[in-house]
Amino acid sequence: MICEIYGKGSCSVALVACIHGDEQIWINVIEKIKLEVPKEITLVVIIANEKAKTENTRFIQSDLNRVFPGALNGDYESQLAFILKNILQTFDYVIDLHSTEAITEMFAIFTKNEAFRLLDFIPLKNIVAIPKILAKGKSLIDNVSCGVSIEVNDNEDIDQLKQMLNETLNNIVKQIQTEINKDYYHVFDNCKEDIAFENFVEYKKEFIPILYGAKSYKDITCLKAKKCAKEELVALLK
């Protein structure tokens, strides 16, 4: 694991990249972000699974985002999860950075109502909630006080990603909500049918596909979601 600290502000923000070692688009983005850290925050940049990154593989022994809270006597990723949880549990905000082969718009994922505090600052349109019955408490964002995952296509424009993160950090500093109008989605099941879908486009009025085309999930075709109001998600995640 690589952990770097920038700034000495009163608000603590963590950017976590390479939870999966083959999701490396964020490395170049972070290198740019480090040069423009607002003085009002302490920014910690973490390259989580450095060994998997070096080998350009998703993980070494276990999917790191499926083994939290981890264990010191566990396998390689379980030990990493245990260390990460202890580092990040006191942070004001944690942003978990991911990428996918799926052809998709950028979107944010959250699992707890506390994350709305951070989501308000992130200039992304699509916001996806995964409830406890599916999330199962095993991901990074399940194990921090206020965490959000951001998912983008592997070939997304680096400058656009940098702009999005810079705007997020500046919104946090100023405590102002983004002006982006948000669409909220509730994941209620997985789809295993071998059918072609288009992400975020409703399929036969049955569900909205999310992460169709992601090769890392061998046993499912996509996530099934429904569009809903923010208030519905608050009640769902209680």
CATH number of residue 167's parent domain: 3.40.630.10
Do residues 121 and 193 both lie within one domain?
no
Do residues 44 and 149 both lie within one domain?
yes
Do residues 191 and 118 both lie within one domain?
no
Whether 182 is in a domain gets the answer no
Model pLDDT, residue 150: 99
Task: Determine the Cα–Cα distance for residues 129 and 93; give it in Å rounded to an integer.
Answer: 17
Model pLDDT, residue 219: 86
Model pLDDT, residue 51: 98
Task: Determine the Cα–Cα distance for residues 109 and 94; give it in Å rounded to an integer.
Answer: 12
DSSP symbol at 207: B
Q: Could you list the residue range(s) of the whole structural domain that residue 209 is in?
A: 187-236
Whether 181 is in a domain gets the answer no
Sheet-wide strand order for 126-129: 2-6, 41-47, 11-17, 93-100, 147-153, 107-110, 126-129, 183-191, 222-228, 208-210
197 CB contacts (<8 Å, ≥6 apart)?
191, 203, 209, 212, 221, 222
- Please give the single-letter amino acid code of residue 231: E
Model pLDDT, residue 135: 77
Domain ends where: 174, 200, 216?
A: 174
- Please give the single-letter amino acid code of residue 98: H
Do residues 109 and 197 both lie within one domain?
no
Among residues 106, 150, 194, 179, which one has the least CA distance to residue 15? 150
Q: For residue 22, how far is the Cα from the chain centroid?
A: 15
Structure tokens at 105: 């718009």
Whether 79 is in a domain gets the answer yes
**Hey, CA dihedral for 68, 110, 152, 32, is it positive or negative?**
negative
**Overall domain count for the chain:** 2
Q: Residue-wise pLDDT tens for the chain (238 aa)?
A: 999 999 999 999 999 999 999 999 999 999 999 999 999 999 999 999 999 999 999 999 999 999 999 999 999 999 999 999 999 999 999 999 999 999 999 999 999 999 999 999 999 999 999 998 787 899 999 999 999 999 999 999 999 999 999 999 999 999 999 999 999 999 999 999 989 999 999 999 999 999 999 988 888 999 999 999 999 999 999 8
